[in-house]
Chains A and B, each alone.
Chain A
């Protein structure tokens, strides 16, 4: 079981059990975790599920589409990712992501 921790911009935390096959974006929506808009529904074409990965095990690096979308964010950081592109896999280590002040 992978535990996913969402840290809101105000510092409050929420831990949920992740389901294998769901992305972190879908995990947030499933558990009504605020801070992720996900306008496009998971295609890496809107950039409104931006997050910062604080703690993770081995997760695949972003592909070129995700990198291109992250490149538009004025608040991009080294650990910026799109939550829709990180999919929980079997045996994946626990992961902690921080959400930005706003999505746009």
Chain B
């Protein structure tokens, strides 16, 4: 395997297809992934990599192929894992995103209400208030880290609200989420070993088990995710099955965290890279909802999901064997020129702007998609009202992670009206 020097992209156009490494998260850290996926889409849209830190896996990179696999849940299962990494044999967390029907459907329905648009209307005022407060506290005309002061802070507060989690402890949620996705095998060794991850998961389970028992039967009708699980007959005793309880809590924490956080940061970068689009949205704030969908496509905060073949199958001219990992590269599908017009343009008035793959497709399509869109919409409505300029004040630092595409640090400077 040809390993690139840090920050130097391999020459993806010259390497033999068999030497392409699709497991190196530095392609996201240093943002040189475009060439790799363009080559795969053109020459090897269903590609096998025989060895990697996460083992052998297939890569599917064309939009249409990704959708076809998403639809075929019988042959391409979400069990046992939806990341290129396999679950740990001694701690297989069970979460509905990594289950097939019918068990998946029951567990998902139990918590779907919390992010249903009816509830979102009730959340909207609260989110706007908090967003306004965060933006009002930002320093003016001096560089600050947008990731820490805006993206991370806002998503943590939203998570704490959804769980009705003790407010003063809320940073735990984000720390646990970061830990859960920080396995050293998908972070070019920059992450942590699995025993450290397991320690944190155990602490998280303990806290959430306490909260479950405190709330069980206290008669309150609050609409937090824990009480929703308690109220649904399918999940009322979930706490008795700690791996399932923890799996679903972790899923909801991670699902509401990196994704929205990194799209909140990405928007700033894209509007700076495409100043004509910034001018457009400033002239016409009604474009904000459409811009939000375009930000989510352009960022693709979860670059892949993985399926596992349940039988030998021929797909795209390749023979996929039972048990093989099949990685769906949403980040590639979202830039596939055969499905997305002018994919490299950040284009806020794009036709069919919601037709991206960042939320996935089919039965596992992101449950919180409307909440995420609302958080981002409110952020930009409030930011554009307040700030005359929102400029990058240095190079963004991107996250080194194969499962998370985002920003670790984003120096920004704002001026107010």
Contacts and interface: CB of A to CB of B under 8 A. Distances in A.
Contact of A71 (B67, B70, B354, B363): B363
Listed residue (A40, A69, A101) with the most chain B CB atoms within 10 angstroms of its CB = A40
Interface stretch (B29-37, B110-118, B251-259, B309-317): B110-118
B370 A72 contact: no
B109 A72 contact: yes
B352 interface: yes
Nearest to B293: A39
Interface string A58-82: 0000000100110111100000000
Nearest to B70: A45
Contact of A43 (B105, B354, B361, B369): B361
Contact of B355 (A41, A102, A103): A41
Given A39-B355, A40-B355, A45-B71, A104 B362 contact: no
A102 B116 contact: yes
Contacts of A22: none
Given A37-B354, A46-B365, A68-B363, A74 B70 contact: no
Nearest to A47: B365
Contacts of A104: 112, 115-117, 369-370
Contact of B363 (A37, A43, A72): A72
Interface of A: 37, 39-41, 43-47, 65, 68-69, 71-74, 101-104
A68 B361 contact: no
B363 A74 contact: no
Nearest to A39: B354
Given A41-B352, A68-B362, A104-B370, 16 more contacts: A37-B354, A43-B361, A44-B71, A45-B365, A46-B359, A68-B73, A69-B362, A69-B363, A71-B102, A71-B363, A72-B109, A72-B112, A74-B116, A102-B117, A104-B116, A104-B117
Interface of B: 67, 70-71, 73, 101-102, 105, 108-109, 112-113, 115-118, 352, 354-355, 359, 361-363, 365, 369-370
Contacts of A47: 365
Contacts of B109: 72-74
Contacts of B112: 72, 74, 104
A71 B105 contact: yes
Nearest to A43: B67
Contacts of B359: 46
A100 to B, nearest CB: 10
Contacts of B113: 74
Nearest to B109: A74
Nearest to A65: B71
Contacts of A101: 117-118
Contacts of B73: 68
24 contacts: A39-B354, A40-B355, A40-B361, A43-B361, A45-B67, A45-B70, A46-B359, A46-B361, A47-B365, A65-B362, A68-B73, A68-B101, A68-B363, A69-B363, A71-B101, A71-B105, A71-B363, A72-B108, A72-B109, A74-B109, A101-B118, A102-B116, A104-B116, A104-B370
A20 B113 CA distance: 36
A37 B352 CA distance: 11
> Which 5 interchain pairs have the tightest Cβ spacing?
A102-B117, A45-B361, A39-B354, A71-B105, A45-B362
Contacts of A43: 67, 361
Contacts of A74: 109, 112-113, 116
A19 B184 CA distance: 56
A104 B116 CA distance: 7
Nearest to B115: A104
A83 to B, nearest CB: 16
A65 B362 CA distance: 8
Contacts of A41: 352, 355
Contacts of A73: 109
A43 B113 CA distance: 24
Nearest to B370: A104
Contacts of A44: 71
